[in-house]
Amino acid sequence: MNSASNTLRKYLPLLVLAAGLASIAATLVAPKNPGPFNVQGFARLPTLEGGRLKPLDTVARSSLLQLQNRQLVYLGDEAARAAAAKDPDGVTLFQRMEGASPSELHPPTLLPIEWLLDVIYRPELAQYYRTFVIDNPDLLSLIGQNDETMARHYTSGAAQLFAIVGFMESHWRRVSYHDIEPYLQKIEDQAKIALPVDSRLRSPFQGAVVQLYQNLILYQRLENAVQVPGAEDFLAELQQFESALPQGVAAVRAKEAKQPHDEAVAQAMMKLGERYLRLSDATSLLIIPPVEGAGTLSGWQTAGQSILGSFQTGHVAVSELAYAALGKTWRAQNVVQFNTVVEKFSADLERTIGEPIHKVHAEVRFNAAEPFYAGISIYVYAVLFAILSWFWLGWARPFQQSAARLVLLAWLLTSAGLAARMYLEGRPPVTNLYSSALYIGWAAVGLCLILEAVYRNAIGSATGGIIGFGTLIIAHHLALSGDTMEMMRAVLDSNFWLSTHVVAVTTGYAATFLAGFLAIIYVVRGVLTPSLDRDSADALSRMVYGVVCFATLFSFVGTVLGGIWADQSWGRFWGWDPKENGALIIVLWNALILHARWGGVVKQRGLMCLAIFGNIVTGWSWFGVNMLGIGLHSYGFTAAAFWSLSIFVASQLALIGLGLIPRQRWRSAA
């Protein structure tokens, strides 16, 4: 038994590393179609939105994150009944995935791209999907919902038990477009009242109704992305329109010139023009590439714009006909024809668009791999192993090594994710709040790996796992606002300054947060556990001091570089902008910590409390100033961010209070 235990201790780090590598390898497999339809081929089709070329897969994923805070669409009984009503004798999409009836414990799901296909081509079916997340009870009341109508009713005993104990939802959080549609006018009326109100002054109901109104606009734009919603055979309509173009255009021109003409033909053509004009105005998704020069970002059109251009060219664009053909085959659930059109259309686009199409395809692979989501779970396991190493002393070494290897693995995974984003964007790693969360976590964990290599006490691994997990969770919530790789504003469109000022400042953020979280480990282990011995306390003190020195350097250099950039962009080195003030406060606070330590004003515990307060200073500079609504760096107030920041500040103050408890009351020997 002893021999087996020794063998397990010896090989545990290797086994843990192998398990981590296997989980990552599973994410690198090329995405597969869930059924016979080549939906992944459709997902790779390019579109121009937000100033950049992206795959329809990204459009579907980012839209779902904004609409319902998750990417998979879970189907309910209403959607299953709608599918059966549409195709009572055939094999429906739902039956293909889950059999004849959906399971309560594991409800059938749609991939994001399948959901988008139905929104565009089968809106009468997609309207039953629970797509819109609504948590505000007053807003639910506005659309005729209440606790009773939103309650989930399970038939199986296991499901009922899971709902009672909280492992399954007792109430729906999401509603369908079908549920909302009768109340669209009420929602619009309330949104018009709420929109003029400053976002900081809106009531919870007003904030919720504005969000729902904007989500409904997004959903309707997707419905109009390719064809007129509800058109049974849009391909036949376009073909008839194309054949009637010569006679119809001639009749309209003769009517405008007050010459003899066929009034019926002219009126029919004018009605079609109005129909396609509405389609043109109803979406911002540019899916039709230019025939010539398709490798550039100019000349892309919406479906409606492309059809309207037919009045001048005399024919409908091949790309629009291809999308219409995809719609016809998807509505008919014709596998062979759908896959054939996808294959031929994709080959044509590769020839016309050229090199940019490869980035589009790479983005689909990146989306499917989801390296940052995979990193979250690995960081959690790393923290667990690190904590176990402090209490299970007989296994301290293998647990410490396992934690270190998992942190390294997650860091390499997020490094690959950041590198992929840099390739796709053609930018340095930090371009917006979302990417700043990724980079701050990445930089902090990188520093933790260095600390762990030096001290080998699992403190670096635990801190790295906590920061890595936390920043990836923050990034996930920031992704709920839409595409995370949007184009830069003109004043920020400089790879040089993004590579110098922004990277230096965010590295300073990362180091300041790292010092604060190391201090938190000192306080928590010292006050709440007996695991903080003198050696660990001294090691943590040295870590915090060294990291604060590092943070001071990068924060100072980054702030000075920001002033130089501001002088070049806005004609002044320093304008006391809230973001500039926040950066300066970080520099001053880190300098205060160092001077207090050098002057003997604080000892070990005082250093830790000051470092924890550095988390508040950095959190304010990172997020707080963005919500003030003033200055050149303001991204606007959001209630969710305000409360999250407030809770974070309160937690740091509470930890400082713990750190100020007289040492004789600590459970440790520190």
Q: For residue 99, what is the enclosing H or E element?
A: none
Statement to judge: residues 212 and 243 lie in one domain:
no
Side-chain-side CA neighbours of 112 within 13 Å: the count stands at 24
pLDDT in tens, 59-75: 999 999 999 999 989 87
Coil, helix or strand for 430? coil
pLDDT of residue 379: 97
Query: Burial code of 561-599, b = ≥16 C-beta within 10 A, e = fewer?
Result: bbbebbeeeeeeeeeebbbbbbbbbbbebbebbbeebee
Structural tokens at position 412: 């390499």
Statement to judge: residues 411 and 531 lie in one domain:
no
Calpha distance 376→469 (Å, rounded): 5
pLDDT in tens, 578-625: 888 899 999 999 999 999 999 999 999 999 999 999 999 999 999 888
The mean pLDDT value for 505-531 works out to 94
Statement to judge: residues 99 and 59 lie in one domain:
yes
Q: Which of 487, 507, 537 is the last residue of a domain?
A: 487
Is 182 within the bounds of a domain?
yes
pLDDT in tens, 32-59: 898 999 999 999 999 998 888 999 999 9
Statement to judge: residues 138 and 287 lie in one domain:
no
pLDDT of residue 607: 97
Is 598 within the bounds of a domain?
yes
pLDDT of residue 259: 79
Domain count along the chain: 4
- CA 267 and chain centroid, separation: 47
Is 446 within the bounds of a domain?
yes
The secondary structure of residue 52, as a DSSP letter, is E
Statement to judge: residues 211 and 297 lie in one domain:
no
Categorize the per-residue pLDDT at 91 as very low, low, confident or very high, splitting at 50, 70 and 90: very low
Is 510 within the bounds of a domain?
no
Statement to judge: residues 193 and 262 lie in one domain:
no
Q: For residue 568, what is the enclosing H or E element?
A: helix 534-570
Structural tokens at position 41: 């081929």
Contact 457, 404 (CB under 8 A): no
Q: Can you say whether the dihedral through the CA atoms of 577, 578, 581, 583 is positive or negative? A: negative
Statement to judge: residues 121 and 241 lie in one domain:
no
Q: What is the 3-state secondary structure (H, E, C) of 196-208?
A: CCCCCCCCHHHHH
Is 364 within the bounds of a domain?
no
Statement to judge: residues 296 and 340 lie in one domain:
yes
Q: Which of 446, 465, 487 is the last residue of a domain?
A: 487
Q: Which of 444, 468, 487 is the last residue of a domain?
A: 487
Is the pLDDT at 89 greater than 70, yes or no? no
Categorize the per-residue pLDDT at 225 as very low, low, confident or very high, splitting at 50, 70 and 90: very high
Measured CA angle at 566 (ends 563, 567), to 5 deg: 90
Q: Can you say whether the dihedral through the CA atoms of 376, 529, 611, 649 is positive or negative? A: positive
Give the range of the structural domain holding residue 301, as residue numbers without chain letter. Answer: 234-316+323-352
pTM, to two decimals: 0.90
pLDDT of residue 99: 37
Statement to judge: residues 218 and 242 lie in one domain:
no
Is 129 within the bounds of a domain?
yes
pLDDT in tens, 263-299: 788 888 888 888 999 999 899 899 999 876 555 678 8
Statement to judge: residues 453 and 524 lie in one domain:
no
Statement to judge: residues 246 and 160 lie in one domain:
no
Match 């919530």 to its residue by tokens.
477
Is the pLDDT at 97 greater than 60, yes or no? no
Is 27 within the bounds of a domain?
no
Statement to judge: residues 455 and 480 lie in one domain:
yes
Question: Which whole-number Å values give the CA distances from 173 to 131, 139, 545, in the listed order?
Answer: 10, 12, 47
Is 25 within the bounds of a domain?
no
